[in-house]
Amino acid sequence: MSVSPKRPRTIALVFLVLVILGIIQAAKVVALNEQSALLLDLQVRPDPRLRLLIAAIWMLLFWSLAIALWRKIFLTHWLIPLLLAFYALYELALMGLFVQVPINRARWLQHTFVAFTLVLFAYWALNKGTAKSYYLEDGPAVG
């Protein structure tokens, strides 16, 4: 009887990032749902209902990829950095197209740096040697 190796810490960190991003999106869903009447009256762009739907989709994507990572599904080592890059582009596009306050527009470089760093970390963490061998083991990981 062989025991599966412990999950590498880098994979656990990526899992934690995905869960936290899913929680942030869940909070957005709750906030947009609570404030939707006010936002509709103010005619905020983009439409709050569309933003609520998109936040719910991101929440489901982050949590489903976290589960897939935990269950050692092999394609997650490519999908997670790609999803994080698309999410960063989505957030930066929202900021660039719809934010009116100059101080918030000035933060695009900071957001870009954080997003780029997160994507690079996820790519490195999921594609280094110990992570590759972790995926090749049979069955879900223990621990």
In a domain, 143, yes or no: no
CB of 95 within 8 A of CB of 105?
yes
- What value does the mean pLDDT of the chain take? 83
Q: Does some domain include residue 103?
A: yes
Q: How confident is the model at residue 24 (pLDDT cuts 50, 70, 90)?
A: very high
For residue 57, give its domain range.
9-136
Is 1 contained in some domain?
A: no
56: pLDDT strictly greater than 90: yes
* pTM, full prediction: 0.81
Residue 141 counted as domain residue: no
- pLDDT for residue 117 is more than 90: yes
Beta strands in the chain (DSSP E): none
- Torsions phi, psi of 129, nearest 5? -60, -45
Is residue 4 a part of any domain in this protein? no
Closest by Cα among 14, 8, 122, 126 to 67: 14
Q: Mean of the pLDDT values across residues 54-75?
A: 92
> What percent of the chain shows pLDDT beyond 90?
38
Is residue 108, in this structure, part of any structural domain at all?
yes
Residue percentage of the chain with pLDDT more than 70: 83
How many distinct structural domains can be found in the chain?
1
CA-CA distances (angstroms) from residue 80 to 6, 30, 36, 115, 118? 21, 25, 30, 13, 11
